[in-house]
Amino acid sequence: MDPWPLRHLVLRTPRLELRPDDDEGLFELVEVAKDGVHDPAEMPFNVPWTDRLADDNGRGMVQFFWSQRAKLAAGDWTVTFLVRHEGKVIGVQDVGARDFAVLREVNTGSWIGRKFQGQGFGTEMRIAVLQFAFDHLGARIARSAAWEGNHASNRVSEKLGYVHDGTIGLAPRGERLEHVRLRLDAANFVRPEWSVQVEDLAECVQLITS
């Protein structure tokens, strides 16, 4: 048995390839982030990690992803997929869960570089992990969240069938903002005409669904 079967897992959509993170891909992701992820006047993340990129040159970013990879366990896991378009990393899409065998719930989060935004990639990669979770892992509920003013992210969620599930106040830059929690039941998922292609999942299933 492979000690790290996730290294073989691949999700394919009409335009994108998603693979769990590897070091070479993470360093490429850092360069994408340094080119810009969002309007500097706004902060779309709970933890304002983009504010620190200029200070540590992305070191904290790769250390975070390494820590996620290192602590992965059956009862508490996050799989971080590097998203590639035409062979180049354009962003990241994660899916994770706690007590998945009992709850059958996943959480997702993502970002893509600014120069790749507005082309539908964010929707396509979210659909990829939702189909992966619902159809291949047996999830029943997917959860996500976005700032009240993050119209692009909220539009994606709406068209995929998510509903509001309350709000929580957070202050990533010292000012209170409303974070909208979102819930998608498998039965309400608005599916596209295409289906994600999943490769080499068999060995990974025990690792992330037990």
C-beta neighbour count of 137 within 10 angstroms:
19
| 115 has pLDDT over 80 | yes
Does pLDDT of 120 surpass 70? yes
- Residue 148: both structure tokens together: 């009240």
Q: Which pLDDT value is given to residue 167?
A: 74
The pLDDT assigned to 170 comes to 63
Distance set, CA 168 to CA 26, 61, 109, 150, 176 (Å): 31, 25, 17, 15, 10
**Which residue matches tokens 């570089």?**
113
What is the model's pTM?
0.92
Q: Return the beta strands (E) in 64-199 as ranges.
A: 76-85, 88-98, 105-112, 141-147, 163-170, 177-185, 197-199
Q: Mean pLDDT throughout 72-82?
A: 93
The proportion of the chain whose per-residue pLDDT surpasses 70, expressed as a percent, equals 93
At the topology level, CATH places domain 5-209 in Aminopeptidase (3.40.630)
Determine contact, residues 95/20, Cβ cutoff 8 Å.
no
Name the nearest CA neighbour of 90 among 36, 129, 130.
36
Among candidate residues 66, 201, 68, the one with its CA nearest the CA of residue 129:
201
Q: Is the pLDDT at 139 greater than 80, yes or no?
A: yes
114 or 1: which leads in pLDDT: 114
Give domain limits for the chain.
Answer: 5-209
CA distance 8 to 19: 8
Among residues 117, 113, 76, the alpha carbon closest in space to that of 91 is found at 113
Q: Mean pLDDT for the chain?
A: 89
